[in-house]
Structure 1
Amino acid sequence: MNANPLTLFWEGFTVEPYAQIAPQVLLIRLRPGEDCHPCCSGCQQHCTAVHDTTIRRVRERDLFQYRVWLEVPVRRVRCVTCGPKLEQIRWLSGRQRLTAGMVSWVESLVRLMPVQHVARLLGLNWHTVKAIDHHRLAREVVEPDRSQIRRLIMDEFALFKGHRYATVVINADTQQVLWVGEGNSRQAIRPFFEWLGPEACAQIEAVAMDMNTAMDLEVQHHCAQARVVYDLFHVVAKFGREVIDRVRVDQSNQLRHDKPARKVVKRSRWLLLRNRDNLKAEQAVKLEELLQANQPLMTVYLLKDQLKELWYAPSEAEARRRWEEWLELAMSSGLAPVQQFARRFKGYVEGIIASATYRMNTSVLEGMNNKIKVIKRMAYGYRDNDYFFLKIKAAFPGKAR
C-alpha cells in the first residue's frame, strides 16, 4: 500500500515526494504509477507501448487558502487498434485544464451563486465557469415527452431593456418549460411548433395566452383543432389601460375649472385599476366617494367588474350570454373608449368563452417571470441566450402528473 494518502485522489498516479509551495499556491507533481498500465482513451484497452509524454499543468480543488495545481505527465500510447492516442485518465477528461473534482466543485457553486462570483472566488475566467455550467445544464435538462402534451400556456417576458422580448411556452399540466425563444412575433415562435412536430401539434387541445395576435394566428396555423384561451389578467389590464385610463383623463380635462375635483380624479388611477379586495379601508372609502361623484367613472368601473365574470361562467352557453349582456351595456354606455374597446373585443370573444371549458390562465407564468428576473440578476447579463434559456428550463423542470 502506498504510504502517501494523496495518491487516493489521482488514480493511476503517485505523488512526487516534494511539492512546491508559493504564497497562495501549492504545486503537486505526479508521476505514473509503476503498477498501472496506461489505457487507450479510444477503445479503453490497456497498452504497454508509450508514444510520447507531455507535462500538463491542471487546476485541482483548493486546499484551505491554497490554489492547488498539478503537474501531470500525460502519455500518448501506441494502441494496436486506434494508433497513437491519449491515455484515459478518469479524473481528467480529454484536454481539460481542470480536474473532474474541480469541475464538480464549480458545478456545485454555480447552482448557488452568480457565475461572476464563482469565477472571482476560484480565480477562474468567467467564460470557463459559464462553459462548465452550460455543459451541466445541457446534461441535466430533460427533453419533454412531446406525445403527452395536451395543453399549453404561452407568454412573453422582457429580455433586455428597450422592448426586446422572449417567448416562453410551458406544459399547462406539468408546468414544465418546454421552449424559450427570442422575440414574440409569428416568425419568432414558429420554431416551437416545428420542434413540437405535426403529430404532437395535432394533440394540442387548448393554448392559454394574452391577446397577442401573433401567438393566436400561429397556434391556429399549426394546431387548427386547439382552442385559444385568453387570460383574464391581460384582458382586464388592457381594459384598464385603454378604457379606464382614457375616461379618467377625459373627466380630469373636463374639470379644469374645479381644481380640487380635478386633482382627485387625476390621482385616482391606482384606485380604479386595483381590485377592490386589495384596497385598504380608507382607500375603499375614497373609491366609493369618487364613483358616486363621477358617473362615467362609475360606469367603466362596473363594466370592468362585469367583464371579469365572463371567465367564471359555469358553461360556454352562460359565458356567451354574459358576453352579449356586457356588449349591450358597453355599446349603450355612451362612452367612446368603451364602445371602441367592445368593437375590437368582438374578434377575441371565442377565446374568452373557451375558458368556461378550459380553466387555464397565464398566472403560473407570471410567477415564473419573477424567478426569471432573479436568474437574470444573478447573471449580471448573460452573454448568450442559449445559456440563459437553458437556465430557465433547468429552473422549471415540471412536476409529476
Structure 2
Amino acid sequence: MKDLNEPYSALLGLDDSWRVEDVDLDLLGNQGAIRLSHVGGGSLTCPDCEAACPAPEWTWRQLDTLQFKTELRARVPRSRCAKCGVKTIAVPWSGKHSRFTLLLEAFAVEVLQACTNLSRASCLLGLSWDAVHTIIKRAVDRGLSRRKLDDIKHVGLDEKSFGKGHNHVSVMTDSDDRRVLEVVPERTTTAADSLWKTLTQSQRSKIASVSMDMWAAFMTSADKNAPNAEIVHDKFHVAKYLGEAVDKVRRSEHRALKKEGDEPLTGSRQLWLYNAENLDEDRHARLALLQEQDLRTSRARAIKEHFRWFWDYTYAGNAKKFFDRWFGWARRSQLDPVKRVAATLKRHLAGLLSYFRHRVTNATTEGFNSRIQSIKSAARGFRNFANYRTCILFYCGKLQLNP
C-alpha cells in the first residue's frame, strides 16, 4: 500500500531522515504493519575506524489503527567495531531500549491511571501482563528521574502487608504533598534506614517532623537519619490501639458472661468500636441499652472515647494536663488491656505532645491504604516485591509519568 508516506509521516511525527516505505494490512488477522526506512540506509560507519554493521529489523507496538493491531517495523542504522562497540541512532517514535512507541506508552499510562485494575487495563490495551508491567516500570523510572525532593518538611512512616502471612513492607510518604516517596521490604530498622536514603543528607536535615506509630524500629531509624526532626505519634494508630484494647475487654467479658448463660455482647463488636457520630439510629439505640448495664466493655469504651478530647487542645501544656487526668482514670480502671495501652501512651508521651507543634498525622499514608489494597486485589496479589513497589509508586507517587 503505497503513497502513504506523507499522511503517516505526519501522524507519526517523523523527521526528514525517515519515511514510510509501505503499509501491510492483514484484514483476516485484524492487524497491520507500517514499514519505515531510514533515508541514509540501514547501516552506519564508525567515524574512527569506518567499520559498518548491517541493521536487523526491529518491531514496535503502536496504537491501534481503526481497531487494527498496529506495529512499526524498521531497520535502525547502527555501527559496530571492536574499539567503539555497537552504536545505534535514536528513533523519534520510541524511547531507548523500548519496543513500544511513545504514543502507545502515553496512552497506556492514561488508561492505567484511570483504570487501576491491571488485569482489565491489560485486556483493554490488548497487551500482555508482562508488557503492561514493562510500561509501568518505564513510566516510574521516568517519574523518579524527574522528581523534586528539596522542599519536604514533614514525612510519614508506616507499614503495609505484602503477600501471605506476616510479610510487611515499609512506606515513606510526603505528608504535605500527599505522595508516596519510597517502599522497601520488611519493617526493620535496616528497612527504615533504606527509606531515608531516598533523601540526601541535606534534604533530611530540613525535615521538621516524622509521623509514625510507636514501632521501635521506625523511631530508632528516624532519630539516626533525621536528627533535626521531631517524632509525632499518629493519632490514627493511637485510636487503633485503644480500639483493640476495648475489643479485648469485650471478648473476655463475653466469654465470662456466656459461661453464666448471659449473652448481651453477642454480635456487638462494631457497636463498641465505632465513634458515636458514625452509628446509625438503630445501632445507637442498641448501644444505649447495653450501656445501661454495668459492663466492663462499656467502661473501656468510655475511656477510649474520652481520649479523643486530647487532640482538640491547642497547646501541649494543656494537653499534658488532660493526659495526666486520663491516665489516672485508665490506670484505676482494673481493665488490663486498657491499662497496658495507657502505659504505652505514657512511655511515648513526648511523641504525642509533638502533635501540637506540627499538627501532622499519617492521614496521607492511611488514605493510601484503600488504594494500595485495590492495587493488590486487582492484580490478584503480588508475589514479586519489585512489581508491588513499582505499582505503588505509579499510582501513589504523583510522578510525571508520560514520555
The TM-score bracket by the shorter chain reads 0.7 to 0.9
Give the counterpart letter for 1:185 in structure 2.
T
Matched residue, 2:205: 202
Counterpart position of 1:269: 269
Q: 2-side partners of 1:280 and 1:183: how far apart?
A: 39
> Unaligned 5+ residue runs, structure 1?
none
CA distance in 1, matches of 2:311, 2:366: 18
Indicate the larger mover: 389-398 or 85-94: 85-94
Which protein has greater RCO, CA pairs closer than 8 Å, 6+ apart?
2
8 A contact 2:307–2:326 mirrored in 1: yes
Aligned counterpart, 1:62: 64
Whole-Å separation in 2 of the counterparts to 1:231 and 1:55:
57
User: Structure 1 residue 228: deviation in Å?
Assistant: 1.6
Q: Look up the SS of the partner of 1:357 in the other structure.
A: helix
- The AA in structure 1 aligned to 2:220 is L
Deviates more, 1:121-130 or 1:328-337: 121-130
Question: Is 1:232 aligned to 2:238, yes or no?
Answer: no
Across the two proteins, how many residue pairs are aligned to each other? 388
2:28 matches 1:23: yes
Cα shift readout 1:99-131 (whole Å, capped 9, x = no counterpart):
444444544444445544455556544323321
**Cα distance, 1:290–1:13 mapped onto 2, change above 3 Å:** same
1:7–1:15 contact (8 Å) kept in structure 2: no
Among residues 156, 161, 177, which one is paired with 1:158 in the alignment? 161
Match of 1:348 in 2: 348
8 A Cα contact 1:154 1:168, kept in partner: yes
Give the distance between the partners of 1:315 and 1:54, measured in 2 at CA. Answer: 71
Q: Which of 236, 244, 251 is matched with 1:249 structurally?
A: 251
> Helix, strand or coil for the counterpart of 1:23?
coil
Does the Cα contact within 8 Å between 1:19 and 1:27 map onto a contact in 2? yes
- CA, structure 1 residues 95+344, in 2 after alignment: closer, same or farther (shift >3 Å)? closer
Q: How far is 1:317 from its partner?
A: 0.8
Shift of 1:370: 1.0
Instruction: Please name the residue that 2:370 is paired with.
Output: 370
1:307 CA drift (Å)? 1.7
- Answer yes or no: is the 8 Å Cα contact 2:211–2:361 preserved in 1: yes
Counterpart code for 1:342: A
* CA shift digits 1:182-241 (9 cap, x unpaired): 221211111122332333333222211122222122212222342222122221221222
Letter of the 2:29 counterpart: Q
Identity of aligned residues (%): 22
Deviation at residue 298 of structure 1 after TM alignment = 3.3
Q: What is the 5 A alignment of 1:2-401?
A: 3-4=3-4, 5=6, 7-8=8-9, 11=14, 12-16=18-22, 19=24, 21=26, 23-26=28-31, 28=33, 30=35, 32=37, 36-38=39-41, 52=54, 54-56=56-58, 58-69=60-71, 71-76=73-78, 85-91=87-93, 97-113=99-115, 114-120=117-123, 124-141=127-144, 144-242=147-245, 244-256=246-258, 258-259=260-261, 262-382=262-382, 384-397=384-397
Aligned partner of residue 168 in structure 1, secondary structure: strand
Rounded Cα–Cα distance in structure 1 between residues aligned with 2:103 and 2:337: 65
Matching residue's letter, 1:64: L
Amino acid aligned to 1:21: D
CA-CA distance at 1:135 after TM superposition: 0.9
Specify the structure having the higher radius of gyration (Cα).
1
Moved more, 58-67 or 196-205: 58-67
Corresponding residue SS for 1:195 = coil
Q: Which segments of 5 or more consecutive residues in structure 2 lack a partner in the other structure?
A: none
User: Are residues 148 and 286 of structure 1, via their aligned partners in 2, closer, same or farther at CA, if it must alter by over 3 Å?
Assistant: same
Report the Cα offset of residue 332 of structure 1. 2.2
Q: Residue by residue, what CA displacement relative to the aligned partner does 1:40-75 show, whole Å, maximum 9, x if unpaired?
A: 8899x9xx9975354445544433353344553444
Please tell me the residue identity of whatever aligns with 2:216: T
Rate the CA distance shift 1:279–1:390 in 2: closer, same or farther, 3 A.
Answer: same
RMSD, matched Cα: 3.6
Cα shift readout 1:128-166 (whole Å, capped 9, x = no counterpart): 332123112211346554442221122222222322222
TM-score (norm 2): 0.81
After superposition, the Cα gap between the structure-2 partners of 1:135 and 1:356, relative to the gap in structure 1 and judged at 3 Å, is same
